[in-house]
Structure 1
């Protein structure tokens, strides 16, 4: 059964609740409690989490206990959808469809102390998009990110304090060779460890899916999405030319795609949104390289 693997998956109660939202923005509380139990959570944990989320205005609740129906508010629906453009780019890189042109992309900002909150938010956004700090207020990425950086700066109203530039000639502390620069700038060992964990989880889930019950299918979907997010969030998605080869992230993502392909075969009548979010991406991956839409 799937449960032996599911209990090894570190999923927060809040992540579980948000992952169980169906296409009609509702959650079947009975199903939620079943999946929570399969993940080793108690009913009390789930009840307390639901109470917090309703207090925060993220859900409304109709009914009580396992017969209740939770409904996600607009605030929740707009804030939890994964960045599927990011996921598509990730798999395109793995398939050799996003070759690196040797250009480094830099962003610098000097937001004044009077706008400290916006400054901190800008820094966090740059790091979240894979930027590595070079020195105070200066960050680098191997991927084109100018549009996103400018969009975030506009949202935070700090556009006047942002500079973006590109170079094919980057030297830091005497290091100029691109792969050595990548090793110097990003914690590749820690990132690889996260992908090894993801690979082990996906390899454990795949055989379990073939005989999984409905609850097990949902539990695996939630666990797999959580492990995937945990592994890829700190990953700057460096091009293969900058990574040790073979790169474990490529193998881990291939194993995840195999699991999602299997999950989609048993898609429930009222699927949770996770199925829809990843279905299009997985279907794209399944196409032969060079195939047109």
Structure 2
């Protein structure tokens, strides 16, 4: 579907981004668990979506039991059956760790964490799930059945393996002396194990987008309330695109010019401005803001 923001300036260094209609609905869930249909259709139009797209998406979400619809058309209210915000954004604890790293509050101790498993073919589904969970936690494959992280996530891995019933196939170990071929230098190992160029490019695009929107929010002309919501949705989508594949390697393992820290700082500044009252004097009361309220400022409680 074409869900590109037609308001994006030509030659926008951030590039365009596709936003699924379902993601838009989830992003507009307010603190009380409701979505205002008029607001939904307005923001959808600003993102280049048609009313038909929105209607079909709402129908599917209601049919799946994720929302209850009260009223019809633009006068309707959607009520979330469960909190769906997490489907839009990375885990808040994961985001908090990223900002703690950026603030110098989570230095690397030089330890590599390794995970090996040999799940039999009869349990292929569990084996695939364990592999995907390791990748989700930022692990990189060293060779078949052996993964490594720079962050201590062993308890999370063990808990997941236990739920799958394959804990007895999992081996966890740590080392400060990792060698792959002739490579031993930590930064070189990180560059070998993780696709850092691709991850850096995602952060660079996020930073470019956040910077242009931050300039508009700070220096005007001020966007309307629907436009502010549109920026909020786009920012959330781009933040997820940048963060989801990021293993959150400690700064000690990254190039000195790593763009992730700047991208996250600009994103946090953007979020802060978007949470302030708009031209109509209203504040967007979205669950999305509550999700990241503490995670974006980890140094405040130190």
Q: After the TM superposition, which residues 153-168 of structure 1 pair with which residues of structure 2 at under 5 Å, given as runs? A: 153-168=161-176
* C-alpha distance in structure 2 between counterparts of 1:171 and 1:165, whole Å: 15
Q: In the TM superposition, what is the alpha-carbon distance from 1:208 to its structure 2 partner?
A: 2.5
Q: In the TM superposition, what is the alpha-carbon distance from 1:76 to its structure 2 partner?
A: 3.6
SS of the equivalent of 1:281 reads coil
Q: In the TM superposition, what is the alpha-carbon distance from 1:222 to its structure 2 partner?
A: 0.9
Q: Which residue matches 1:275? A: 289
Q: Which residue matches 1:36? A: 44
TM-score, normalised by the number of residues in structure 2? 0.89
Q: Which residue matches 2:207? A: 199
Q: Which residue matches 1:4? A: 8
* C-alpha distance in structure 2 between counterparts of 1:189 and 1:266, whole Å: 38
* C-alpha distance in structure 1 between counterparts of 2:88 and 2:157, whole Å: 20
1:157-197 deviations in Å (ceiling 9; x for gaps): 22122111110011112211111100100000000110011
Choose the corresponding residue for 2:35, options 27, 30, 36. 27
SS of the equivalent of 1:21 reads coil
Choose the corresponding residue for 1:66, options 50, 58, 74. 74
Q: Which residue matches 1:15? A: 23
CA contact (8 A) 2:89 2:236 kept: no
* C-alpha distance in structure 1 between counterparts of 2:181 and 2:115, whole Å: 19
SS of the equivalent of 2:129 reads helix
* C-alpha distance in structure 1 between counterparts of 2:22 and 2:251, whole Å: 35
Q: In the TM superposition, what is the alpha-carbon distance from 1:11 to its structure 2 partner?
A: 1.4
Q: After the TM superposition, which residues 144-159 of structure 1 pair with which residues of structure 2 at under 5 Å, given as runs? A: 144-159=152-167
Choose the corresponding residue for 2:197, options 185, 189, 203. 189
CA contact (8 A) 1:106 1:165 kept: yes
Unaligned stretches of 5+ residues in structure 1: none
The more displaced of 179-188 and 151-160 is 151-160
1:211-265 deviations in Å (ceiling 9; x for gaps): 1211111111111011001001111111111111121111111111110111122
Q: Which residue matches 1:121? A: 129
Q: Which residue matches 1:133? A: 141
Q: Cα RMSD between the aligned structures?
A: 2.1
* C-alpha distance in structure 2 between counterparts of 1:78 and 1:180, whole Å: 34
SS of the equivalent of 1:74 reads coil
TM-score, normalised by the number of residues in structure 1? 0.92
Q: Which residue matches 2:65? A: 57
CA contact (8 A) 1:2 1:208 kept: no
CA contact (8 A) 1:23 1:273 kept: yes
CA contact (8 A) 2:43 2:230 kept: yes
Q: Which residue matches 1:231? A: 242
- The 3 A distance-change label for structure 1 pair 97 and 132 is same
